[in-house]
Structure 1
Amino acid sequence: MQSIFLTGEPQSIPDVLAAKDQRAALQAEIFSQNPQGTLLDVKLNIPGPIKNNHYLQKLFAKGCAALEQDLTAQGLKYFLVNGWDRSSGCENFYLLNDAAKSVKEVAIEFEDKNKLGRLFDADVLVKEQPAALSRSKLGCPRRHCFLCERPAKECARSRRHQVAELQDYISKIYEEEFN
Protein backbone atom coordinates (compact mmCIF):
# COMPACT_ATOMS: atom_id res chain seq x y z
CA MET A 1 0.00 0.00 0.00
CA GLN A 2 1.35 3.40 -1.01
CA SER A 3 0.82 6.46 1.15
CA ILE A 4 -1.45 9.12 -0.34
CA PHE A 5 0.37 11.77 1.72
CA LEU A 6 3.53 12.04 -0.40
CA THR A 7 2.24 15.09 -2.29
CA GLY A 8 0.61 18.31 -1.18
CA GLU A 9 1.57 21.58 0.43
CA PRO A 10 2.41 21.11 4.12
CA GLN A 11 0.31 23.25 6.45
CA SER A 12 1.65 24.90 9.57
CA ILE A 13 -0.37 25.63 12.70
CA PRO A 14 -0.76 29.29 11.62
CA ASP A 15 -2.09 28.05 8.23
CA VAL A 16 -4.67 25.84 9.96
CA LEU A 17 -5.67 28.66 12.32
CA ALA A 18 -6.03 31.08 9.39
CA ALA A 19 -8.33 28.58 7.64
CA LYS A 20 -10.37 28.32 10.85
CA ASP A 21 -10.75 32.13 10.95
CA GLN A 22 -11.76 32.20 7.27
CA ARG A 23 -14.32 29.44 7.96
CA ALA A 24 -15.83 31.41 10.84
CA ALA A 25 -16.03 34.56 8.69
CA LEU A 26 -17.76 32.69 5.86
CA GLN A 27 -20.20 31.06 8.29
CA ALA A 28 -21.07 34.50 9.70
CA GLU A 29 -21.57 35.86 6.18
CA ILE A 30 -23.84 32.94 5.27
CA PHE A 31 -25.92 33.48 8.40
CA SER A 32 -26.15 37.24 7.77
CA GLN A 33 -27.85 36.44 4.45
CA ASN A 34 -29.80 33.40 5.73
CA PRO A 35 -30.46 33.91 9.45
CA GLN A 36 -33.10 31.17 9.69
CA GLY A 37 -31.10 28.55 7.80
CA THR A 38 -29.25 25.49 9.02
CA LEU A 39 -25.63 25.31 7.91
CA LEU A 40 -23.90 21.99 7.29
CA ASP A 41 -20.12 22.49 7.15
CA VAL A 42 -18.33 19.40 5.82
CA LYS A 43 -14.59 18.74 5.80
CA LEU A 44 -12.14 15.86 6.13
CA ASN A 45 -10.38 14.97 9.40
CA ILE A 46 -6.80 14.75 8.18
CA PRO A 47 -3.90 14.29 10.60
CA GLY A 48 -0.48 15.70 9.82
CA PRO A 49 0.76 18.60 7.73
CA ILE A 50 -0.65 17.50 4.34
CA LYS A 51 -4.34 18.47 4.32
CA ASN A 52 -5.07 18.40 0.59
CA ASN A 53 -3.89 16.76 -2.62
CA HIS A 54 -5.53 14.98 -5.55
CA TYR A 55 -6.08 11.80 -3.48
CA LEU A 56 -7.80 13.66 -0.66
CA GLN A 57 -9.87 15.62 -3.20
CA LYS A 58 -11.16 12.32 -4.61
CA LEU A 59 -12.03 11.03 -1.13
CA PHE A 60 -13.78 14.32 -0.36
CA ALA A 61 -15.79 14.32 -3.58
CA LYS A 62 -16.91 10.71 -3.13
CA GLY A 63 -17.86 11.31 0.50
CA CYS A 64 -19.78 14.50 -0.29
CA ALA A 65 -21.70 12.68 -3.03
CA ALA A 66 -22.67 10.00 -0.48
CA LEU A 67 -23.71 12.64 2.07
CA GLU A 68 -25.80 14.48 -0.53
CA GLN A 69 -27.48 11.19 -1.40
CA ASP A 70 -28.24 10.61 2.30
CA LEU A 71 -29.71 14.10 2.67
CA THR A 72 -31.91 13.61 -0.39
CA ALA A 73 -33.02 10.15 0.80
CA GLN A 74 -34.24 11.76 4.04
CA GLY A 75 -36.15 14.44 2.13
CA LEU A 76 -33.76 17.23 3.12
CA LYS A 77 -33.18 19.84 0.43
CA TYR A 78 -29.73 21.39 0.46
CA PHE A 79 -28.01 24.14 -1.43
CA LEU A 80 -24.22 24.20 -1.81
CA VAL A 81 -23.42 27.80 -0.82
CA ASN A 82 -19.67 27.54 -1.13
CA GLY A 83 -16.98 24.94 -1.64
CA TRP A 84 -13.29 25.29 -0.88
CA ASP A 85 -10.39 23.45 -2.40
CA ARG A 86 -7.45 24.97 -0.57
CA SER A 87 -4.10 23.76 0.68
CA SER A 88 -5.70 23.65 4.13
CA GLY A 89 -8.26 21.12 2.84
CA CYS A 90 -11.50 20.76 0.94
CA GLU A 91 -14.67 22.00 2.58
CA ASN A 92 -18.31 22.34 1.54
CA PHE A 93 -20.88 24.65 3.08
CA TYR A 94 -24.47 23.49 2.60
CA LEU A 95 -27.51 25.57 3.51
CA LEU A 96 -30.75 23.85 4.45
CA ASN A 97 -34.15 25.05 5.65
CA ASP A 98 -34.67 21.97 7.78
CA ALA A 99 -34.37 21.65 11.55
CA ALA A 100 -30.79 21.38 12.78
CA LYS A 101 -31.63 18.18 14.67
CA SER A 102 -32.79 16.45 11.47
CA VAL A 103 -29.67 17.55 9.61
CA LYS A 104 -27.39 16.44 12.46
CA GLU A 105 -29.04 13.00 12.57
CA VAL A 106 -28.24 12.48 8.88
CA ALA A 107 -24.70 13.82 9.42
CA ILE A 108 -24.09 11.43 12.32
CA GLU A 109 -25.33 8.47 10.33
CA PHE A 110 -23.06 9.49 7.45
CA GLU A 111 -20.03 9.88 9.73
CA ASP A 112 -20.64 6.54 11.43
CA LYS A 113 -22.00 4.21 8.76
CA ASN A 114 -18.85 3.43 6.79
CA LYS A 115 -15.09 3.94 6.73
CA LEU A 116 -15.26 6.79 4.23
CA GLY A 117 -17.78 8.73 6.33
CA ARG A 118 -15.55 8.28 9.36
CA LEU A 119 -12.96 10.52 7.70
CA PHE A 120 -15.42 13.41 7.63
CA ASP A 121 -16.40 16.07 10.10
CA ALA A 122 -19.94 17.28 9.36
CA ASP A 123 -20.76 20.21 11.65
CA VAL A 124 -24.33 21.50 11.90
CA LEU A 125 -24.75 25.14 12.89
CA VAL A 126 -27.60 27.57 13.41
CA LYS A 127 -27.25 31.31 13.92
CA GLU A 128 -28.57 31.40 17.50
CA GLN A 129 -26.06 28.84 18.80
CA PRO A 130 -22.40 29.84 19.12
CA ALA A 131 -21.10 26.28 18.54
CA ALA A 132 -21.97 23.36 16.30
CA LEU A 133 -24.78 21.07 17.41
CA SER A 134 -23.13 18.26 19.36
CA ARG A 135 -23.77 14.54 19.30
CA SER A 136 -24.25 14.57 23.06
CA LYS A 137 -27.18 17.01 22.76
CA LEU A 138 -28.92 14.34 20.67
CA GLY A 139 -27.96 11.56 23.07
CA CYS A 140 -25.57 10.02 20.54
CA PRO A 141 -22.25 8.42 21.46
CA ARG A 142 -18.99 10.26 20.89
CA ARG A 143 -16.97 9.50 17.79
CA HIS A 144 -14.42 6.73 18.08
CA CYS A 145 -10.81 6.95 17.01
CA PHE A 146 -9.89 5.61 13.57
CA LEU A 147 -7.54 3.07 15.13
CA CYS A 148 -9.05 2.12 18.49
CA GLU A 149 -12.33 2.23 20.36
CA ARG A 150 -11.40 5.22 22.54
CA PRO A 151 -13.12 8.57 21.98
CA ALA A 152 -11.48 10.31 19.00
CA LYS A 153 -10.94 13.59 20.86
CA GLU A 154 -9.15 11.76 23.68
CA CYS A 155 -6.72 10.11 21.25
CA ALA A 156 -6.16 13.36 19.36
CA ARG A 157 -5.45 15.40 22.50
CA SER A 158 -3.08 12.83 23.97
CA ARG A 159 -1.46 12.08 20.59
CA ARG A 160 -1.92 8.41 21.38
CA HIS A 161 -1.24 7.38 17.77
CA GLN A 162 1.54 8.40 15.41
CA VAL A 163 0.52 10.60 12.46
CA ALA A 164 1.97 7.95 10.12
CA GLU A 165 -0.38 5.30 11.59
CA LEU A 166 -3.40 7.51 11.01
CA GLN A 167 -2.24 8.39 7.50
CA ASP A 168 -1.75 4.69 6.74
CA TYR A 169 -5.36 4.09 7.79
CA ILE A 170 -6.57 6.84 5.43
CA SER A 171 -4.34 5.55 2.60
CA LYS A 172 -5.89 2.10 3.08
CA ILE A 173 -9.39 3.57 2.80
CA TYR A 174 -8.35 5.36 -0.40
CA GLU A 175 -7.05 2.07 -1.80
CA GLU A 176 -10.31 0.30 -0.87
CA GLU A 177 -12.45 3.04 -2.41
CA PHE A 178 -10.55 3.58 -5.66
CA ASN A 179 -8.45 0.50 -6.48
Structure 2
Amino acid sequence: MIIKFDDGIPVTLEQMLFAKEQRVKHQQAALEQFNHPLICLSLVIPGPIKKSSGTNLLFQEAIKAIKSSLASKSIVISNEQYFYANTGSEAIISAKYQADELKQLCIDIENHHPLGRLWDIDVIDPITQHSISRTVFDEQSRQCLICQDNAKNCSRSKKHSLDEIFAVIENRLKDYLKSQ
Protein backbone atom coordinates (compact mmCIF):
# COMPACT_ATOMS: atom_id res chain seq x y z
CA MET A 1 0.00 0.00 0.00
CA ILE A 2 1.33 3.41 -0.95
CA ILE A 3 0.80 6.07 1.69
CA LYS A 4 0.85 9.64 0.43
CA PHE A 5 0.53 12.95 2.20
CA ASP A 6 1.17 15.14 -0.83
CA ASP A 7 -1.80 14.11 -3.00
CA GLY A 8 -4.16 16.81 -1.75
CA ILE A 9 -4.83 20.48 -2.35
CA PRO A 10 -2.70 23.02 -0.45
CA VAL A 11 -4.70 25.38 1.76
CA THR A 12 -4.00 28.93 2.89
CA LEU A 13 -3.80 30.38 6.37
CA GLU A 14 -7.08 32.21 5.69
CA GLN A 15 -8.78 28.91 4.84
CA MET A 16 -7.44 27.34 8.04
CA LEU A 17 -8.68 30.28 10.14
CA PHE A 18 -12.11 30.08 8.51
CA ALA A 19 -12.19 26.30 9.17
CA LYS A 20 -11.38 26.97 12.83
CA GLU A 21 -14.29 29.43 13.06
CA GLN A 22 -16.61 26.85 11.51
CA ARG A 23 -15.36 24.17 13.92
CA VAL A 24 -16.23 26.37 16.89
CA LYS A 25 -19.73 26.98 15.47
CA HIS A 26 -20.27 23.24 14.97
CA GLN A 27 -19.05 22.54 18.51
CA GLN A 28 -21.33 25.20 20.02
CA ALA A 29 -24.31 23.82 18.11
CA ALA A 30 -23.57 20.28 19.33
CA LEU A 31 -23.21 21.48 22.92
CA GLU A 32 -26.54 23.32 22.72
CA GLN A 33 -28.37 20.41 21.11
CA PHE A 34 -27.01 17.51 23.17
CA ASN A 35 -25.57 19.09 26.33
CA HIS A 36 -22.97 16.28 26.64
CA PRO A 37 -19.20 16.48 26.57
CA LEU A 38 -17.75 16.59 23.07
CA ILE A 39 -14.85 14.62 21.72
CA CYS A 40 -13.33 16.73 18.96
CA LEU A 41 -10.90 14.94 16.67
CA SER A 42 -8.49 16.43 14.18
CA LEU A 43 -5.10 15.33 12.89
CA VAL A 44 -1.62 16.61 13.67
CA ILE A 45 -0.46 17.29 10.11
CA PRO A 46 2.11 19.98 9.32
CA GLY A 47 2.37 21.84 6.05
CA PRO A 48 -0.16 23.21 3.58
CA ILE A 49 -1.81 19.90 2.57
CA LYS A 50 -4.25 18.82 5.27
CA LYS A 51 -6.35 16.27 3.38
CA SER A 52 -4.71 13.44 1.46
CA SER A 53 -4.94 9.68 1.05
CA GLY A 54 -2.59 9.34 4.04
CA THR A 55 -4.62 11.64 6.28
CA ASN A 56 -7.84 9.89 5.27
CA LEU A 57 -6.36 6.62 6.55
CA LEU A 58 -5.11 8.23 9.77
CA PHE A 59 -8.53 9.78 10.39
CA GLN A 60 -10.38 6.46 9.92
CA GLU A 61 -7.98 4.72 12.30
CA ALA A 62 -8.55 7.46 14.89
CA ILE A 63 -12.33 7.02 14.66
CA LYS A 64 -11.93 3.25 15.12
CA ALA A 65 -9.71 3.76 18.17
CA ILE A 66 -12.09 6.26 19.78
CA LYS A 67 -15.19 4.14 19.18
CA SER A 68 -13.44 1.01 20.43
CA SER A 69 -12.34 2.79 23.60
CA LEU A 70 -15.82 4.20 24.21
CA ALA A 71 -17.40 0.79 23.62
CA SER A 72 -14.98 -0.87 26.06
CA LYS A 73 -16.37 1.43 28.79
CA SER A 74 -19.99 1.15 27.55
CA ILE A 75 -20.05 4.89 26.91
CA VAL A 76 -23.10 5.96 24.92
CA ILE A 77 -22.57 8.15 21.87
CA SER A 78 -25.49 10.54 21.49
CA ASN A 79 -24.34 12.11 18.20
CA GLU A 80 -21.53 11.94 15.66
CA GLN A 81 -20.63 14.52 13.04
CA TYR A 82 -17.87 14.19 10.48
CA PHE A 83 -16.48 16.97 8.35
CA TYR A 84 -14.26 16.29 5.34
CA ALA A 85 -12.72 19.46 3.95
CA ASN A 86 -9.47 20.38 2.25
CA THR A 87 -8.49 22.02 5.56
CA GLY A 88 -8.56 18.58 7.20
CA SER A 89 -11.01 15.99 8.41
CA GLU A 90 -12.70 16.57 11.76
CA ALA A 91 -15.10 14.70 14.00
CA ILE A 92 -17.37 15.88 16.78
CA ILE A 93 -18.72 13.10 18.98
CA SER A 94 -21.19 13.79 21.80
CA ALA A 95 -20.81 11.24 24.58
CA LYS A 96 -22.91 10.61 27.69
CA TYR A 97 -20.07 10.51 30.21
CA GLN A 98 -18.22 12.70 32.69
CA ALA A 99 -16.10 15.23 30.80
CA ASP A 100 -12.96 14.80 32.92
CA GLU A 101 -13.10 10.99 32.71
CA LEU A 102 -13.69 11.25 28.96
CA LYS A 103 -10.60 13.47 28.64
CA GLN A 104 -8.51 10.91 30.54
CA LEU A 105 -9.74 8.22 28.16
CA CYS A 106 -8.75 10.37 25.16
CA ILE A 107 -5.33 11.10 26.67
CA ASP A 108 -4.83 7.35 27.06
CA ILE A 109 -5.64 6.87 23.36
CA GLU A 110 -3.20 9.62 22.34
CA ASN A 111 -0.47 8.26 24.63
CA HIS A 112 -0.83 4.51 24.02
CA HIS A 113 -2.15 3.91 20.50
CA PRO A 114 0.72 3.52 17.99
CA LEU A 115 -0.79 6.36 15.91
CA GLY A 116 -2.11 8.39 18.85
CA ARG A 117 0.59 11.03 18.63
CA LEU A 118 -0.72 11.93 15.17
CA TRP A 119 -4.20 12.68 16.52
CA ASP A 120 -5.48 15.70 18.39
CA ILE A 121 -8.37 14.53 20.55
CA ASP A 122 -9.90 17.34 22.58
CA VAL A 123 -12.76 17.10 25.05
CA ILE A 124 -15.05 20.06 25.58
CA ASP A 125 -16.90 20.31 28.88
CA PRO A 126 -20.58 21.26 28.30
CA ILE A 127 -20.67 23.28 31.52
CA THR A 128 -17.62 25.51 30.95
CA GLN A 129 -17.77 25.12 27.14
CA HIS A 130 -13.97 24.96 27.15
CA SER A 131 -11.54 22.28 26.15
CA ILE A 132 -10.04 20.36 29.05
CA SER A 133 -6.26 20.67 29.10
CA ARG A 134 -3.87 17.71 29.38
CA THR A 135 -2.13 19.60 32.20
CA VAL A 136 -5.19 19.08 34.45
CA PHE A 137 -4.07 15.43 34.59
CA ASP A 138 -0.37 16.25 35.09
CA GLU A 139 0.26 15.32 31.47
CA GLN A 140 3.15 17.00 29.74
CA SER A 141 2.73 18.99 26.57
CA ARG A 142 3.00 16.99 23.38
CA GLN A 143 6.49 15.92 22.36
CA CYS A 144 8.01 16.47 18.95
CA LEU A 145 7.69 13.47 16.65
CA ILE A 146 11.40 13.62 15.85
CA CYS A 147 13.44 14.86 18.82
CA GLN A 148 11.05 14.53 21.80
CA ASP A 149 11.38 18.23 22.70
CA ASN A 150 8.19 20.26 23.21
CA ALA A 151 6.30 19.97 19.90
CA LYS A 152 5.13 23.60 19.96
CA ASN A 153 8.68 24.86 20.33
CA CYS A 154 9.93 22.76 17.42
CA SER A 155 6.99 23.82 15.29
CA ARG A 156 7.45 27.54 16.00
CA SER A 157 11.19 27.43 15.33
CA LYS A 158 10.75 25.17 12.27
CA LYS A 159 13.45 22.97 13.75
CA HIS A 160 12.62 20.06 11.43
CA SER A 161 11.83 20.01 7.72
CA LEU A 162 8.47 18.82 6.42
CA ASP A 163 10.29 15.94 4.70
CA GLU A 164 11.74 14.80 8.06
CA ILE A 165 8.37 15.02 9.78
CA PHE A 166 6.48 13.21 7.04
CA ALA A 167 9.10 10.45 6.94
CA VAL A 168 8.39 9.78 10.63
CA ILE A 169 4.61 9.94 10.10
CA GLU A 170 4.76 7.57 7.11
CA ASN A 171 6.98 5.11 9.00
CA ARG A 172 4.62 5.09 12.00
CA LEU A 173 1.64 4.46 9.75
CA LYS A 174 3.42 1.72 7.77
CA ASP A 175 4.60 -0.01 10.96
CA TYR A 176 1.08 0.16 12.38
CA LEU A 177 -0.50 -1.28 9.23
CA LYS A 178 2.03 -4.13 9.17
CA SER A 179 1.10 -5.03 12.73
CA GLN A 180 -2.62 -5.30 11.92
Structures share a fold, TM > 0.5? Answer: yes
Structure 1 contact 147–166 (Cα < 8 Å) conserved? yes
- TM-score under structure 1 length normalisation: 0.91
- TM-score under structure 2 length normalisation: 0.90
Q: Whole-Å Cα distance in 1 between the matches of residues 109 and 143 of structure 2?
A: 14
State the Cα distance separating 1:64 from its structure 2 match: 1.3
Tell me the alpha carbon deviations over residues 33-55 of structure 1, each in whole angstroms, 9 at most, x when there is no partner: 123x1000011110001101122
Deviates more, 1:154-163 or 1:7-16: 154-163
User: Where has structure 1 moved over 4 Å in runs of 4 or more?
Assistant: none
Structure 1 contact 40–93 (Cα < 8 Å) conserved? yes
Q: Whole-Å Cα distance in 2 between the matches of residues 85 and 40 of structure 1?
A: 16
Aligned length: 178
State the Cα distance separating 1:154 from its structure 2 match: 2.0
Structure 1 contact 80–92 (Cα < 8 Å) conserved? no
Question: What is the aligned partner in structure 1 of residue 5 from structure 2?
Answer: 5
State the Cα distance separating 1:131 from its structure 2 match: 3.0
Amino acid at match of 1:14: E
Runs (5+) with no aligned partner, structure 1 = none
State the Cα distance separating 1:80 from its structure 2 match: 4.1
Question: What is the aligned partner in structure 2 of residue 97 from structure 1?
Answer: 96
Select the structure with the greater relative contact order (CA < 8 A; seq sep ≥ 6).
Answer: 1
Q: Whole-Å Cα distance in 2 between the matches of residues 138 and 177 of structure 1?
A: 27
Q: Whole-Å Cα distance in 2 between the matches of residues 9 and 120 of structure 1?
A: 20
Amino acid at match of 2:30: I
Question: What is the aligned partner in structure 1 of residue 44 from structure 2?
Answer: 45
Amino acid at match of 2:166: Q
Corresponding residue SS for 2:128? coil
Structure 1 contact 78–95 (Cα < 8 Å) conserved? yes
Tell me the alpha carbon deviations over residues 7-66 of structure 1, each in whole angstroms, 9 at most, x when there is no partner: 10101111111110000010111112123x100001111000110112211121012101
Question: What is the aligned partner in structure 2 of residue 110 from structure 1?
Answer: 109
Structure 2 contact 5–49 (Cα < 8 Å) conserved? yes
Question: What is the aligned partner in structure 1 of residue 69 from structure 2?
Answer: 70
Identical residues among aligned pairs (%):
27
Runs (5+) with no aligned partner, structure 2 = none
Q: Whole-Å Cα distance in 2 between the matches of residues 3 and 72 of structure 1?
A: 29
Question: What is the aligned partner in structure 2 of residue 19 from structure 1?
Answer: 19
Q: Whole-Å Cα distance in 1 between the matches of residues 131 and 153 of structure 2?
A: 19
For the aligned residue pairs, the C-alpha RMSD in angstroms reads 1.8
Q: Whole-Å Cα distance in 1 between the matches of residues 60 and 108 of structure 2?
A: 18
State the Cα distance separating 1:140 from its structure 2 match: 1.9
